[in-house]
Amino acid sequence: MSDMHTITGNQGLQIEEPLIFEQDTPGKCGVDLPDVPNVKTRLGGLERVGKIGLPGMTEPDTVRHYMRLSQKNYAIDTGFYPLGSCTMKHNPRLNEKMARLPGLADLHPLQPHSTVQGALELIDQCAHWLKELTGMPAVAMSPAAGAHGELCGLMAARAAHEAKGDPRKVVLCPESAHGTNPATAAACGYKVESIPANDQGRVDLDALKAALNEDVAAIMLTNPNTCGLFESDIVEIAEAVHAVGAYFYCDGANLNAIMGRVRPGDLGIDCMHINLHKTFSTPHGGGGPGSGPTVLSAALAPFAPVPYVVDTGDGFKLVEHKADSDQQPLGRIKGFHGQVGMFIRSLAYMMSHGTDGLRQASGDAVLNANYLKAKLGDLLTVSYPDSPCMHEVLFDDRFLKDTGVTTLDFAKMMIDEGVHPMTMYFPLVVHGALLMEPTETESKATLDNFIHMIREMTKKAKEGAVEEFQNAPMLTPRRRLDETQAARKPVLKWVPEAAE
Amino acid sequence: MRYLPLSEEDRKDMLEAIGVSSIDELYCDVPDSVLLDKAVETLPTVRGEMEVDRAISAMAAKNTGANAVPSFLGAGLYHHHVPATVDYMIQRGEFLTSYTPYQPEVSQGTLQYLFEFQTQVAMLTGMDIANASMYDGATACAEAVLMANRVTKRNKAILSGGLHPHYRDVTRTHAHFNEFDVISAEPDVDNVEDLIDLIDDETSCVVVQTPSFFGHLNDYTKLGEACHAKKALLVVVFTEVLSLGALKTPGEMGADIVVGEGQSVGNALNFGGPTVGLFAVRKKYLRQMPGRVCGETVDADGRRGYVLTLSTREQHIRREKATSNICTNSGLCALAFNIHMTLLGEEGLTKLSALNHARACQVADKLAEIDGVDVLNETFFNEFTVRLNKSASAVIDRLAEKNVLAGVPVRRLYQDRPELDDLMLVAVTETATDEDIDALVAALKEELS
């Protein structure tokens, strides 16, 4: 904290903001509503009695509250977010405008088909782009997020095995897999077996082949992988997986590196979810909502969940029930038709770039990552120096050895410098990992400033400024927070003082 | 391309620094056989902002939105007025474009609103604690059953016939792939309780909905007692969160898990998504609850602050042992909920809930006077079921041609139940004007006579 103490605790624009419950002025309200008509109620004696406990606030107070909260957040609109595996790229405002159009935002999912032809066309167009870009014949649009898309893909694989009378038991996951991969396999009723990485940061092909047998239902693999590398054996992996009758799930988290340059369908994969917020720029929104359409191979396409849109040639219709389908849908995985609001944003993004722009975008993302690698490689330790990285570059923390500064300390000091830290301690295959992903929407000037900052910080660490690192961040609304206390004595809601 | 800041000059300099001659060279690990040498040719090329705006606006213009015509559709999602302040605030870049708050020092804005949101949801449902939101009500319902199975170490869920068919179907999908049993009671407009007889020593939970899918209201207190006597959990679902402002809470009825859809507060219909699932539980089940949670703590200077907590339940720590595979929430939708609920407050929510109910009562009375319409509910909140003297889908389609969105045909969600063909769900919210109601009544009279 700065030495300057104020009466309020505020520091200029950094204003302390109480919870809404602590600003309660009973009787105040931020909306005007018409009088309630006097009718005989039909609540069957189940009326709510007693107070709910919600605070009273006016509209001006409410605006100021959330404006002040917003000022305590870092965001892609405020600065550089080199967060590996998360793909924090610019979120164009055109997308937001399109998603709010009358006739899209105010459509009910159960309106007659005749009144939603434009919306069904829009879903169909978004699906078309995703299929063409990935070279896959089908896409399930309903998954609500990336992990939900994983579940959809694995359920399709399991449904396909069941249709052959052979449900199988095991799913293989590389040890570098996103944590959601094994959790998803377990949530789909499978036993998970781990596959080690080789010293080149890729899946160990021999170990994989040894693990493949007729009990294996599917393999889950990320490509480009979480070490930032393209799995160069991927075609051979796909062939080996198919040879034992298993399916190939590809985690699409890193599609941003290859869109317009490699079609996952050509690699022999059977299913892949697409995080629309990563690759196609729908905003992360502080942790959601996501959207995870899942592309499917010809083998898995018949098992896509309901509902789905069909172009009849004479208009669009929605197939909402298994019984109305000429396929073998695995069932329903979400209420209604998927995150349509996200399809609109993604379609606006894809149309804006065009196929040529998307190819340029993935190329620039890879160029930016390799630029960081080239400019920082002499200082930080590049984990896999022999291959070009894809859209993210993996370093480890050997450069901090004997300085007393931890990777976490280093990251926290980046915050004081006004940059969001990179991903740390992931992937687990590299000790003390630092995974950086600049994305294609950062300029060379931003990267050069970042490189300068990292070099100066490293110099500081090596010169012995341990305490300064350990005390960081100093300039944020809050300094390091006690996560142990939060977990040990969970306080998950506000309670009035008298009731404590 | 307007979103890409690198110039040709920049690219040239950077390639030189890397020591390669082209971007293509950076893709040398991709087998030649699968590397495209040019952009995918079956898709259009770059377009300016104005062109994209026009193309998407043209698709929007082909639809009939709920703001443009009288609309009485519910069945899980509801058309309400969202104050302008809500959409303005959620479009602040610091909320809209921020990442999951894993670095709490620069995410106190997100974390504080999640803490407020959790408090609001706990208050509304009458439960001890809530998480920071789920994908939607239907997936939250499936997660509630999975959680009940974990807590009770049992494998059979009983679903009420008044549960939304999508919630039932999503739960069944999970049941199929996780090999647990789901018993669904018959669809029933009155939702009369014969569920108690179905509870046995294998039952992990009974799932009921309030108001039911058909709009009916029930006190589930006795059902809760029956569940607890057999060591099963009571899961209470709602699809219209505004009803909680008018009704006895699920917590008061003895619910162990309460889940539902929060779209009605702060969020547009969006043709079905994104929406915001709400999830609340009794304190003793905290560590079995799926999803993200935000907790209060202190910082290095002893000041109050917030962090994501209890992540040991989450996928990134426990992997295949995680309580669920979910690794996101509906953050921005939860913010919209939080802001709208703050604007409403105690006074506003109570009044808005009462207004919804009163308007629905007025419409039910008017419809009951029409020949060929039977109102089937004795109790309801803002949605009820009517029996028409002909197929509801056909009537609704013809009324849509007259620019009245009259309701949802029950059969659309119960495709396998021809006996429900003449039932229509009618939802009435504060958005229905007197003119809208008159238009509905006139159009129905004409169609049914």
Per-residue pLDDT of chain A (500 residues), as tens digits, is 456 778 878 888 889 999 999 999 999 999 999 999 999 999 999 999 999 999 999 999 999 999 999 999 999 999 999 999 999 999 999 999 999 999 999 999 999 999 999 999 999 999 999 999 999 999 999 999 999 999 999 999 999 999 999 999 999 998 878 888 999 999 898 999 999 889 888 999 999 999 999 999 999 999 999 999 999 999 999 999 999 999 999 999 999 999 999 999 999 999 999 999 999 999 999 999 999 999 999 999 999 999 999 999 999 999 999 999 999 999 999 999 999 999 999 999 999 999 999 999 999 999 999 999 999 999 999 999 999 999 999 999 999 999 999 999 999 999 999 999 999 988 888 889 999 999 999 999 999 999 999 999 999 999 999 999 999 999 999 999 999 999 999 999 999 987 65
| Per-residue pLDDT, A157 | 97
CA distance B188 to B160: 9
Among A423, A470, A71, smallest CA distance to B300 is for A470
Chain B positions touching A31 (Cβ under 8 A) are 83, 343-344, 348, 352
Are A384 and A394 a contacting pair, CB within 8 Å? yes
Chain A contacts in chain B segment 141-200 (CB below 8 A): 164, 166-167, 169-170, 172-173, 176-179
Interhelix angle A340-376/A117-134, nearest 10 degrees: 30
Tokens 């050069």 found at: A448
Could you tell me the two tokens for A92?
A: 């164009």
| Per-residue pLDDT, A430 | 87
CA distance B272 to A109: 5
A274's CB contacts (< 8 A; 6+ apart) are A130, A134, A149, A252, A255, A280, A292, A293, A294, A295
The reply to whether B214 touches chain A by the CB within 8 Å rule is: no
Nearest-CB residue to B315 (from A115, A183, A230): A183
The reply to whether A15 touches chain B by the CB within 8 Å rule is: no
Chain B contacts in chain A segment 347-386 (CB below 8 A): 347-348, 350-361, 363-364, 366-368, 370-371, 373-375
Q: What order do you get walking across the sheet with A247-251 strand by strand?
A: A138-140, A294-296, A271-273, A247-251, A216-222, A170-174, A191-195
The reply to whether A105 touches chain B by the CB within 8 Å rule is: yes
Sign of the Cα torsion B82, B85, B90, B95 reads negative
Contact A30 B296 (CB under 8 A): no
Contact B271 A107 (CB under 8 A): yes
Interface test with B, best of A481, A482, A485, A491 (most B CBs within 10 A): A481
- H-assigned helices in A318-465: 340-376, 407-416, 444-462
Interface test with B, best of A17, A54, A359 (most B CBs within 10 A): A54
Q: What order do you get walking across the sheet with B423-427 strand by strand?
A: B373-375, B383-388, B423-427, B408-409
Sign of the Cα torsion A52, A58, A59, A61 reads negative
Q: Identify the burial level of B153 via C-beta atoms within 10 angstroms of its C-beta, where 0-12 means exposed, 13-18 middle and 19 or more buried.
A: exposed
Contact B247 A115 (CB under 8 A): no
Nearest-CB residue to B335 (from A132, A234, A286): A286
Sign of the Cα torsion B159, B161, B165, B169 reads positive
User: Does the predicted interface ipTM exceed a cut of 0.85?
Assistant: yes
pLDDT (tens digit, 9 = 90+) per residue, B83-92?
999 999 999 9
CA distance A47 to B247: 5
Whether the ω angle into residue B290 lies within 30 degrees of 0, i.e. cis, is no
Are A72 and B358 a contacting pair, CB within 8 Å? no
Dihedral over alpha carbons B118, B123, B124, B127 (to 10 degrees): 90
Q: Identify the burial level of A439 via C-beta atoms within 10 angstroms of its C-beta, where 0-12 means exposed, 13-18 middle and 19 or more buried.
A: buried
Could you tell me the two tokens for A355?
A: 């196929």
Nearest-CB residue to A111 (from B62, B317, B405): B405
A500's CB contacts (< 8 A; 6+ apart) are none
Within 13 A of A72's CA, how many CA atoms are on the CB side?
Answer: 29
- Weakly modelled stretches of chain B, pLDDT under 50: none
Could you tell me the two tokens for A408?
A: 């976490």
CA distance B311 to A470: 24
Are B45 and A481 a contacting pair, CB within 8 Å? no
The reply to whether A485 touches chain B by the CB within 8 Å rule is: yes
Question: What's chain B's length in residues?
Answer: 449
| Per-residue pLDDT, A500 | 56
| Per-residue pLDDT, A1 | 46
* Alpha-carbon Rg for chain A in angstroms: 26
Could you tell me the two tokens for B47?
A: 């377009």
Tokens 């139940």 found at: B417
DSSP B118: H
Chain B positions touching A254 (Cβ under 8 A) are none
Contact A187 B325 (CB under 8 A): yes
The reply to whether B358 touches chain A by the CB within 8 Å rule is: yes
| Per-residue pLDDT, A3 | 61
- Helix H, strand E, coil C: the string for B390-433 is CCHHHHHHHHHHCCCECCEEHHHCCCCCHHHCCEEEEECCCCCC
Residue A374: CB atoms within 10 A of its CB come to 20
